[in-house]
Amino acid sequence: MAAEIVNSKDGLGEDVIDPAFALHRGGKMAVQATVPVRNADDLSLAYTPGVAKVCSAIADQPELVDDYTWKSQVVAVVTDGSAVLGLGDIGPEASLPVMEGKAILFKQFGGVDAVPIALDCRETDEIVETVARLAPSFGGVNLEDISAPRCFEIEAKLKERLDVPVFHDDQHGTAIVTLAALRNAAKLSGRGLGELRAVISGAGAAGVAIARILVEAGIGDVTVCDRKGVVAAAREDLTDIKRELAGFTNKAGLTGSLEDAMDGADVFIGVSGGTVPEPAVARMAEGAFIFAMANPNPEIHPDVAKKYASVVATGRSDYPNQINNVLAFPGVFAGALQVRATDITEGMKLAAAEALAAVVADELSADKVIPSPFDERVAPAVTSAVAAAARAEGIARR
């Protein structure tokens, strides 16, 4: 038995299996029938010859697939294993436990069925083509743990080709929850988003999406920093995505390091890892908000953050205000599938953030600017808001 699977020895010297391995043995999910097959009559309806009638009807009217198969209720959770949680590029097989976990979160928190799909390919066009060929079986596609900058192009190309929702959760789920928490932090302090200047540490998938949604929501200004400092238009080393990012952020025209950008900032949002020096934190504006979301080690430890900030959030479950994507993606997909939306738009994401913030709007405190993932009000609120937004934008098919 592999040493890492054994947690310890018991009093008799026997191996004690690590509980994580014990839970995952055999996988975490299974397919379950929704109709009985108890006798020949059931069999003749569920399979041949009865199934032929349904197949023929769908062949004549393809839109009936949504009514007479599981398509409109199931999401493909797709990865290439290139950017898995805090583990990095571990490949498709090693990513499967995470994709299974994502699938059960879809079911537990949104009532949405999901199928994990780990692809043994890395080229952007190859992934796009593979997912597009799989798409007839699914009502939506959740892209997961695909490294930047390929994740941006893969999502964009799939959205062009498919008429079902495509959503890269590492980008948009994080952005939705961050905006919701920031709305409530601002409300708690008596300020509006338009009065805030935010600094984002990290210009990958999450950083870009957070910057985009904050600008859409009306943030006063937002500056994004990567390893080389402020993402500014004058830099000659920017990728296409970062050059686009520089075009709609950093209205103040800041240059220099992350620490320079933090001087006087109202908000710090960390999605990069690393450690921010305490003197830089101390130079933030009075009553600042610090969302240090790297896992397992936040960019600014909460004990340090609390010395200077009025609201502190992390990505961890053992501190208040956990910025957790599970607050967003189950309800976002549930709402999109409910109305058979053809896309997930910026308007739907903004609606999700507003609904999520509203769940605890009457219960706000420094330790509660975002609901718990186990708050049963969350998924219905987000689902309803997303469905309504899709109808308002004219992309709902029912």
Are 246 and 231 in contact by the 8 Å Cβ rule? The answer is yes
Tokens of 44: 């003749």
Active-site annotation holds for 47: yes
* From 71, 102, 242, 349, the catalytic residue: 102
> Between β-strands 74-79 and 6-9, what pairing exists: parallel, antiparallel or unpaired?
unpaired
142 is in an annotated binding site: no
259 is in an annotated binding site: no
120 is in an annotated binding site: no
Distance CA(208)–CA(210), nearest Å, equals 6
Q: Mapped to the 3 state alphabet, what secondary structure does the chain carry?
A: CCHHHEEEECCCCCEEECHHHHHHCCCCCCCCCCCCCCCHHHHHHHCCCHHHHHHHHHHHCHHHHHHHCCHHHEEEEEECCCCECCCECCHHHHHHHHHHHHHHHHHHHHCCEEEEEECCCCCHHHHHHHHHHHHHHCCEEEECCCCCCHHHHHHHHHHHHCCCCEEEHHHHHHHHHHHHHHHHHHHHCCCCHHHCEEEEECCCHHHHHHHHHHHHHCCCEEEEEECCEECCCCCCCCCHHHHHHHHHCCCCCCCCCHHHHHCCCCEEEECCCCCCCHHHHHCCCCCEEEEECCCCCCCCCHHHHHHHEEEEEECCCCCCCECCHHHCHHHHHHHHHHCCCCCCCHHHHHHHHHHHHHHCCCCCECCECCCCCCCCCHHHHHHHHHHHHHHHCCCCCC
Tokens of 129: 């083509």
Distance CA(117)–CA(343), nearest Å, equals 20
* From 9, 47, 228, 307, the catalytic residue: 47
266 is in an annotated binding site: no
145 is in an annotated binding site: yes
Annotated binding site for (S)-malate: 295, 324
Residues designated as active site? 47, 102
Annotated binding site for a divalent metal cation: 144-145, 170
Annotated binding site: 144-145, 170, 295, 324
